[in-house]
Amino acid sequence: MYDVFATDRLIDHWLVEDIGACDLTVQVMIEPEETGKFHMNAREPMIVAGVEVAARVFKRYDPDLKVTLRVKDGDKVEKGAILVEIEGSARSVLTAERTALNIAQRLSGIANETARYAAAMAGSKARLIDTRKTTPGLRMMEKHAVTCGGGLNHRLGLDNGVMIKDNHIAVCGSITAAVERARKKLPVLTKLEVECDRLEQVEEAAKAGADVIMLDNMSVADMTKAVELIAGRAKVEASGGINIDTIGPISRTGVDYISTSKITQSAPAVDIGLDEA
C-alpha cells in the first residue's frame, strides 16, 4: 500500500516540523520512566484511512512502543471505535500524538468525502475518480484514501498517461494533429486522453482515435449529446465544476467516469482523538 522508505522520510519531516528541538511540555511534566496505554478513537462515524501510517508515526518516533492496529484502512466504523492501541513511554506517545492524529484525520476525511460523492452516483454506471489536485507530498496517501472510500485513481503523475489539453492543442494546431504527434512516440499500452469543451471537439477527438475523451465543464445536455456522438469509440470522462449537487445528474448522462478535486482538496478532516485507556 505505502512505500515504506518514502513514508518514513515523510514521517521524519512531520515530526521535525512539530517537535522542533524537543516537546517542552512532556519534558517538564512527564518523568522518563512513566508509561501508559492509550487508544486512538473515532469520535464520529467514519471510513478509516491512514491508520497504518498513524501507527508507523508512533513506532518511527519510538521503536519500543507497542502499537496494535484494531481496524484496517477501508473499514467503516461507528463513533467510539478503537482504531489503534499504543502502549509504552508516556513521553513518546504524547509527543507523537498530534502528528499521528493529523494524518489519520486528513486521510479518513478524504475517504469519507469520496464515499459521499460515490453514494450520490448510485444507480449509474459511472465511476468516481480523483485528480492530481492533491496536497504536495501526500499524493499517494491521498489517492489511497480515495480508494478506501470507493473511488478510483486517475493519473498518479504526469508520467502515467498522455492528456492532451487546450494548450497542447494550440501548439499543435488541432486535436487531430496533437493525437497524431503523440501516437508516434506513445508507449503501446499507455492511454491517450483528450480534453474537450465543445461538441465539435468531441467528434474530432473520437475520429482521431483518443482512448478517453474528457468533457470539460459541459452542460448535462451537452454531455448527453457527447456520449451519443462518441458511441462507444472511447471511454468518456466528465470533469470541471463537479460538486455534490451536480454529480448525480451528470452520472446519468452515460459517461464512464466522473473526476473531481472536491474529494481531495475540499474534504473536511474527521474527528479522531487519543485517550488514555
Strands in the chain per DSSP E: 35-42, 46-47, 66-69, 76-77, 82-89, 127-129, 162-164, 192-196, 212-216, 235-239, 257-259, 272-276
Question: What pLDDT sits at residue 25?
Answer: 96
State which residues form the domain around 51: 4-117+268-276
List 43, 59, 76, 98, catalytic entry: 98
Cell of 106: 486528513
Q: How many domains does the chain have?
A: 2
List 52, 193, 195, 237, catalytic entry: 195
- Residue 84 pairs in a beta bridge with 40, 69
Is 18 a residue of the active site? no
Please, what sign has the CA dihedral across residues 25, 106, 79, 51? negative
- pTM more than 0.85: yes
Q: Is the pLDDT of residue 1 over 80?
A: no
pLDDT tens figures, 85-116: 999 999 999 999 999 999 999 999 999 999 99
pLDDT tens figures, 8-28: 999 999 999 999 999 999 999
Q: Are 156 and 247 part of one and the same domain?
A: yes
Is 98 a residue of the active site? yes
100 in Cβ contact with 58 (< 8 Å): yes
List 76, 165, 181, 233, catalytic entry: 165
Is 216 a residue of the active site? yes
253 in Cβ contact with 121 (< 8 Å): no
239 in Cβ contact with 82 (< 8 Å): no
Residue 116's contacts (CB-CB under 8 Å, 6 or more residues apart) are: 244
List 75, 197, 203, 216, catalytic entry: 216
Question: What pLDDT sits at residue 71?
Answer: 98
**Residue 65 maps to which CATH number?**
3.90.1170.20
**Residue 237 maps to which CATH number?**
3.20.20.70
Q: Are 259 and 125 part of one and the same domain?
A: yes
Q: Are 75 and 184 part of one and the same domain?
A: no
Average pLDDT score over the chain:
96
Q: Are 124 and 158 part of one and the same domain?
A: yes
